[in-house]
């Protein structure tokens, strides 16, 4: 097993995949190799297509994983077979699982501002303000450096975003005010903008942000569906409700494809109300 794991890690590094992908793919591969060793009693190089499908059904029926979670397992298996075992991968033998798509949960503009304004911790308030006003992903805000904030151009520099490209996000005046207040109160950090309180020299981690959002949701007695990404969805929805077109929202959120931005058409309740259904229009007498 170790031979496969080491080769796998090396190839993932050569391919330049993200650290999070390396971590999850390696964990999935260990689970697969353990299954092969325990249940099939053979080397991974000898596993047949029906046996791979049995493994996918094991994940679905025995481990009760949902399709969204199983598909990354399939991606890992594809990578393993192509790059480590040097075998062709047939997606007709092991297809992707279909899954239901749901609209993300969003807050109103008033609720979002109330959520931010009621945060007592200034560091937490600065982080959430950037998540919302600049539409940042939690990994992006965690890895911000002091030099990434450009006060003269009112921009936030994002390096190596999710689509593997650098970009600039808009810096809100209100967010800059909160950020400046935080910066002076927390010792004027010059390297990581939000350093970890427990790991000197490292930035705050996503888990910490998730925890203090959850804690604040509980204090307010709100729905538990609010997450870091809710703030990003809030921005996209509120921009659309305020009249921004999809191309402007795509640019603001750093989406690679316009299809990712189109969800805010469905979430923008104000725009839906402003359009009259043709069936409700008065018929003119000819």
Question: Residues with catalytic annotation?
Answer: 137, 162, 229, 232, 255, 264
Which of 106, 103, 121, 101 has its CA nearest to residue 229? 106
CA distances from 276 to 182, 254, 262 (A): 46, 32, 20
Of the candidates 149, 208, 200, the residue with the CA atom closest to the CA atom of residue 179: 149
Alpha-carbon gap, residue 233 to 253, rounded angstroms: 9
16: region left, alpha or beta (phi > 0 left; psi from -120 to 50 alpha): left
> What is the rounded CA–CA span in Å between residue 165 and residue 139?
14
Distance of CA 41 to the CA centre of its chain: 38
Structure tokens at 110: 């008033």
Residues 6+ positions from 5 with CB-CB distance below 8 Å: 26, 29, 30, 33
6/141 Cα distance (integer angstroms): 32
43 phi-psi bin (left φ>0, alpha ψ -120 to 50, beta other) = beta
Beta strand residue intervals within 13-160, DSSP E: 149-150, 155-158
Helix%, strand%, coil% for the chain, nearest 5: 60, 5, 35
């Amino acid at each position: 097993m170790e031979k496969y794991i080491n080769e796998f890690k090396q190839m993932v590094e050569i391919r330049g995949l993200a650290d999070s992908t390396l971590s999850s793919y390696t964990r999935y591969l260990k689970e697969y190799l353990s299954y092969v060793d325990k249940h099939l009693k053979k080397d991974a190089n000898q596993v047949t297509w029906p046996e791979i499908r049995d493994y996918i059904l094991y994940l679905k029926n025995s481990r009760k994983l949902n399709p969204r979670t199983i598909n990354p397992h399939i991606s890992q298996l594809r990578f393993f077979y192509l790059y480590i075992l040097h075998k062709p991968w047939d997606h007709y033998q092991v297809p992707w699982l279909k899954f239901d798509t749901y609209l993300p949960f969003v807050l109103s503009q008033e609720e979002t501002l109330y959520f931010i304004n009621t945060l007592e911790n200034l560091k937490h308030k600065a982080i959430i303000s950037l998540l919302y006003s600049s539409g940042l992903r939690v990994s992006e805000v965690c890895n911000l450096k002091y030099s990434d904030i450009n006060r003269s151009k009112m921009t936030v520099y994002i390096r190596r975003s999710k689509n593997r490209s650098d970009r600039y996000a808009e810096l809100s005046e209100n967010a800059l005010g909160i950020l400046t207040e935080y910066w002076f109160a927390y010792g004027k950090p010059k390297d990581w903008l939000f350093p970890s309180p427990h790991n000197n020299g490292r930035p705050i981690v996503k888990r910490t942000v998730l925890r203090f959002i959850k804690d604040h949701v509980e204090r307010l007695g709100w729905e538990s569906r609010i997450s870091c990404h809710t703030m990003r969805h809030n921005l996209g929805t509120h921009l659309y409700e305020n009249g921004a077109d999809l191309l402007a929202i795509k640019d603001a959120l750093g989406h690679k494809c316009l299809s990712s931005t189109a969800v805010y058409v469905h979430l923008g309740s104000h725009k839906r109300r402003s359009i009259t259904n043709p069936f409700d229009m008065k018929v003119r007498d000819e």
